[in-house]
A = this chain, B = another copy of it.
């Protein structure tokens, strides 16, 4: 572990020329012909100035390596890699969380503007000049971000980056329109607002949404094929239905061919069944055959086929995505490795270099963690990391390090009496009897709530006293929480998701109690959430634990899919608002077949006047919130044709196109969501079958664990090394480690690195064999370009595109 201070990097990056290792010449800037070439310093040049410039060039190397590794992690293609010092400045500016947050906020602001624009939500309405100015401001910010991107990417790459180009065009249009609005002081028909989500999708933080969209588009071709089959059968049956039923004057569903097609399209969603059949059925009972055959073919066969095809494509796409990401990461690691090795030892990365890299890659990481990460990578025990060691970089980097506690319990250091009390509580809390007693309490609580609720025949009255049972059960739950915390310790208690759930439910119930006691009406809804406590019962059975665990694992992906759906909703909501705002109102659609649903009349029965309401006028596009609710109703599909027919009767029959398109789009997204859930669950179950490991095993919950032992001498030596050789200033963490080692009295201390298991880890294990093949294939293609490796860095687009297709 002796790092020669005069190690020279094998490869000099970006501004090697301007950094002073070679003679200074100003025209070296931007000249990257000599970038990445091996540089041979003149012997005996190790004077102070040389030392400094050497350190500077190492620092540049660390930085570039860190950038490579970040690109690998984020799946950024290497052809957007910064090429010289100037570009680097723009790159660094555009790649930090401040910039990302600004990007996100601007995009969200732009989208939120539609709350206040023309058909605005009543209590958020803004004057035209206010919201137009806000929009212009946001657009200027977006333009600024784009300029930074242009500076970083260079004009050439910028032009060829499709997403950025589309964004630029949309920006341009939005700019002009915002100015027009400002000048005219009124909003015109601005359908282009539907394109605003592009700014959100382009955000760094919305990478998951981008991936979802890509996956949706990749699943489209087979989807469209089957969709055509579906529509084809629909048209055939529409012609058939028209021929068969148009003679029946009582049948409004098949009067013209267009009626016939629309009826069967709606029937595809089952929304007008059995009504669509009834007039024909009442005339001849045999006519039901037509509908049964149609539904059997379309709904029960072709629709499922659609799911099967999407599921299959989705499966393949997931695997290919995993493969390309894996190889991209590997390539990033190789690039970084080349930058970190020195001329003297070209096949290993020393601690010093690794530490330098980590200072750029993870600035917040403590010196101790950097050292422990190095040790975790360094399985062979040599002084340097080989490329094979370094390949595990991404597996190790997310680990949280903690000294392994010598004792079992948090109260081990307590005096004898206290220890025995806590030990008793610990044993009690861990006992099966205690657990089942709690299940019993929850079950009784559930039955109590059910019975209690059932006795309120005249609705729930809130202005009563706090019910007695509430206090009793809450007390029991409170005691349980306290006992558990006392017995297990705060850390252990909260490390289990189930305990966290118990805790929050109990706290909520407590807040509800306070709300009741102090009569705070707006918080009554908390009281109502009480029944959720019953969910705890599902811990009893293994399968439920698995299902709920998988649910939590899926949650991030589900959230991103939900966000994707919301983006589609947003675009459709804007279009809907532009065309259909204010077209439906009570008693509006009297000349349509769905008039009843829009009726609002006073009916006098005897001497009582009652308001008979159809309510459907509430499903409108009058503002963006109403539009969202309306679109959700359309997504659920049931009775969607009432909304469609209502709007159609007030506008033209081309409006149907909007609703039908929306149905098909949501069908795509929903099918993909179903395919995703199917895929995720089947994958998890296959995984646990393959590894003969029960799901939700305690081992499983721990996630990925690495262990590293540090001896006292090693710790002191490292501290010394950091202090004197690396010139790192903030060493408190390392010093703490040395102190802890001394205090413990042992000669060495064990450290545990932990992180939760991700889908990628599961995939790694699932595709174990295939991964080896991929690696071999990858290294074969790489071997061919091995001699040209350095040249490869100049034109990495080839290899980058290799990985993406």
Contacts and interface: CB of A to CB of B under 8 A. Distances in A.
Interface string A242-265: 111011001000011110000000
Contacts of A535: 232, 236
A636 interface: yes
B543 A225 contact: yes
Nearest to A680: B308
Given A232-B538, A301-B677, A460-B242, A273 B312 contact: no
A304 interface: yes
B246 A282 contact: no
B305 A618 contact: no
B295 A225 contact: no
A459 B246 contact: yes
A318 to B, nearest CB: 14
B682 A308 contact: yes
A144 to B, nearest CB: 37
Contacts of A301: 551, 558, 677
A633 B450 contact: no
A300 B673 contact: yes
A469 interface: no
Interface string A287-326: 0100010010001110011011101100100000000000
A449 interface: yes
Contacts of A309: 681
Contacts of A677: 301, 304-305, 308
A359 B547 CA distance: 56
A644 to B, nearest CB: 13
Contacts of A226: 547
A281 B236 contact: no
B453 A257 contact: yes
Nearest to A279: B615
B531 A240 contact: yes
Interface string A456-479: 110110000000000000000000
A534 B235 CA distance: 10
Contacts of A543: 222, 225
A541 interface: yes
A52 interface: no
B278 A312 contact: no
A154 interface: no
A311 B678 contact: yes
A551 B255 CA distance: 33
A449 B226 CA distance: 23
B225 A454 contact: no
Nearest to A455: B257
Contacts of A670: 300
Interface in A592-641: 596, 611, 613, 615-616, 618-619, 625, 629, 632-633, 636-639
A286 to B, nearest CB: 10
A638 B638 contact: yes
Contacts of A160: none
Nearest to A246: B459
Interface in A200-224: 222
A538 B685 contact: no
Nearest to A681: B308
A98 interface: no
A674 interface: yes
A275 B633 CA distance: 10
Contact of A544 (B225, B246, B295): B225
Contact of A618 (B243, B270, B281, B619): B281
Contacts of A285: 625, 629
A703 interface: no
B453 A282 contact: no
Contacts of A236: 531-532, 534-535
Contacts of A685: 312
A541 B246 contact: no
A274 interface: yes
A229 B547 CA distance: 10
A221 B281 CA distance: 39
A529 interface: yes
A239 interface: yes
B282 A618 contact: yes
A232 B270 contact: no
Contacts of A798: none
A637 to B, nearest CB: 7
Given A235-B450, A681-B308, A274 B456 contact: no
Contacts of A611: 250
A304 B789 CA distance: 48
Given A295-B636, A682-B311, A257 B629 contact: no
Interface of A: 222, 225-226, 229, 232, 235-236, 239-240, 242-244, 246-247, 250, 255-258, 270-275, 278-279, 281-282, 285, 288, 292, 295, 299-301, 304-305, 307-309, 311-312, 315, 449-450, 453-454, 456-457, 459-460, 525, 527-529, 531-532, 534-535, 537-538, 541, 543-544, 547, 551, 558, 596, 611, 613, 615-616, 618-619, 625, 629, 632-633, 636-639, 670, 673-674, 677-678, 681-682, 685
17 contacts: A225-B543, A226-B547, A232-B538, A240-B531, A242-B460, A243-B527, A244-B528, A255-B459, A271-B638, A273-B638, A288-B632, A300-B670, A305-B547, A308-B681, A311-B678, A311-B682, A638-B638
Given A225-B544, A288-B632, A308-B678, 7 more contacts: A240-B531, A243-B453, A246-B459, A271-B638, A275-B615, A282-B613, A312-B685
**A-B pairs, 8 with minimum CB distance:** A278-B615, A308-B681, A246-B459, A270-B638, A236-B531, A304-B677, A274-B633, A243-B528
